[in-house]
A and B are shown apart, each in its own frame.
Chain A
């Protein structure tokens, strides 16, 4: 149990376009989902926390108008990178809490974004 999927697994786009990443909890209801970003050889940096049916809480320094988060249901959260630029190229990972161990976050496989 506690499987989290992400789609797409990788995406290449032109500068200025918007990219949507989906995060789904497949076999449990996720009361809270988290979005992280990871640059090469660095640790995970929390971007935002999203709760179903409410606005996301963004970490300091993360632009909420650039990284739009929608947590429409207990099994789906989406992150949209608007007007992407090369510096947004990174590994984006979501996690979901609510599985067998309530405090544990289960991670999706990640989405690698490359902005040209």
Chain B
């Protein structure tokens, strides 16, 4: 089976930095995705990590440690539009399907 854990809700202040953690336990791990989902909309792709380390893409960065089964998404210079759910998802190599965590609802306050 698989288990993907991330906090249910987080709150942060506009202009600040927030880190959303994700831990996973799964067989056949091939990589980890982060998606952003605004209420009532479909998820949009943010990042995909296969190797250990930090990948930076503008205001968003994603980190992966395969040995620890751990990832985080780092959002800098927070904007009100960043209020959304952030989904951690694992790609299982055996079935080539993505399994989603329950998501973290991030609220940005002025």
If over half of A's interface residues share one DSSP class (helix, strand or loop), that class is named, otherwise mixed; here it is strand
B108 within 8 A of A: no
* CB-based contact A108/B42 at 8 Å: yes
Q: How far is the CA of A95 from the CA of B87 in the complex (A)?
A: 15
**Bound form: Cα–Cα A34–B95 in Å:** 12
Of A66-74, A80-88, A98-106, the one contacting chain B is A98-106
Contact B45 A43 (CB under 8 A): no
Count B interface residues, CB 8 Å.
Answer: 22
Of all chain B residues, the one with the shortest Cβ separation from A105 is B98
A104 to B100 CA separation, bound complex (whole angstroms):
13
Which label, helix, strand, loop or mixed, suits the secondary structure of the B interface? strand
A96 smallest CB distance to B (angstroms):
12
> Which residues of chain A in 43-72 are interfacial with respect to chain B, using CB atoms and an 8 Å cutoff?
43-46, 49
Q: Is the CB of B91 within 8 A of A42?
A: no
Indicate which residue in B33, B41, B95, B99 contacts A104 across the interface (CB closer than 8 Å). B33
Residues of A within 8 A of B95 (CB): 49
In the complex the two chains form, is B97's CB within 8 Å of A107's CB?
no
6 closest Cβ pairs, A-B complex: A107-B42, A43-B102, A110-B42, A44-B100, A43-B103, A43-B100
User: Which residues of B are at the interface with A, using a C-beta cutoff of 8 A?
Assistant: 30-31, 33, 35, 40-45, 48, 87, 91, 95-103
Extra contacts, 7 of them, besides A46-B98, A101-B48 (Cβ < 8 A), are A32-B96, A43-B87, A93-B43, A104-B33, A104-B45, A107-B42, A108-B42
